[in-house]
């Protein structure tokens, strides 16, 4: 395993086929496990933003960032520095409910964490929760008492703080 800290890289790329493959490939080649990757549209529909979190040492990551920058379809790459960006992750958690007291307990926790209940059955509750990864981890830990039947996490997406924006000209 690579020893290092979790880093967040924000990449703007041309929104077209093959780009995700070529970028993900650069991480695979250096045996970096991408902890999470989110890809989606930006304010310009022909540009996509990739938010990649990896656990990596500084020097190797520096190489990968330069290699990502070198890809023809890459517009910008930025390593987001701790404290200079906002980030959110979405998790959907299906919790096992065996007795009705558990249901009210879970609903209380969901309220405390400002989550939402999006599906209920006689023996399960599905919760939507957004926040930083630590908040989701904390909520998940609480739910383990009841039994997590299924879990889906999106991985984080992030933006730098402040008014600064990147506008790519045609």
> What is the C-alpha separation between 97 and 102, in angstroms, rounded?
6
Minimum CB distance to other proteins, residue 107 (Å): 47
Binder to other proteins among 70, 114, 116, 161 (CB under 8 A)? Answer: 70
Q: Residue 44 CB: number of other CB atoms within 10 A?
A: 15
Least separation in angstroms between CB 102 and other proteins: 47
**Residues constituting the chain:** 170
Span 25-54, contacts to other proteins by CB under 8 A: 25, 29
Q: Is 158 exposed, middle or buried (CB count within 10 Å of its CB: 0-12, 13-18, 19+)?
A: buried
Contact with other proteins (CB under 8 A): which of 5, 66, 116, 161?
A: 66
Compute φ and ψ for 10, nearest 5 degrees: -115, 125
From the list 62-70, 123-131, 145-153, 158-166, the region that binds other proteins by CB under 8 A is: 62-70
Per-residue contact string for residues 99-118; x = within reach of other proteins by CB under 8 A: --------------------
Q: How far is the CB of 72 from other proteins (least distance, A)?
A: 4
Q: Where do runs of H (alpha helix) occur along the chain? A: 19-29, 58-70, 100-112, 133-144
Q: Which is nearer to other proteins, 54 or 127 (CB)?
A: 54
Kindly state whether residue 13 participates in binding other proteins, applying the rule CB under 8 A.
yes
- Pairing status of strand 34-41 against strand 47-56: antiparallel
DSSP result, 135-153: HHHHHHHHHHTT-EEEEEE
Note the residues at the interface with other proteins (CB under 8 A): 13-14, 18, 21-22, 25, 29, 59, 62-63, 66-67, 69-70, 72-75, 168-170
């Amino acid at each position: 395993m690579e020893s290092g800290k979790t880093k967040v890289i924000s990449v703007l790329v041309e929104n077209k086929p093959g780009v995700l493959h070529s970028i993900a490939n650069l991480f695979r080649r250096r045996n970096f496990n991408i902890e999470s990757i989110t890809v989606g549209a930006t304010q310009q529909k022909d540009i996509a933003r990739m938010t990649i979190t990896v656990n990596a040492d500084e020097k190797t990551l520096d190489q990968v960032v330069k290699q990502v920058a070198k890809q023809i379809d890459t517009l910008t790459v930025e390593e987001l520095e701790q404290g200079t960006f906002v980030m959110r992750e979405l998790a959907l958690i299906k919790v096992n409910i065996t007795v009705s007291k558990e249901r009210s307990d879970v609903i209380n926790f969901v309220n405390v964490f400002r989550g939402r209940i999006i599906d209920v059955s006689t023996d399960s509750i599905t919760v939507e929760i957004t926040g930083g990864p630590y908040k989701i981890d904390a909520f998940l830990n609480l739910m383990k008492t009841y039994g997590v039947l299924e879990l889906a996490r999106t991985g984080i997406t992030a933006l730098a703080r402040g008014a600064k924006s990147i506008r790519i000209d045609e």
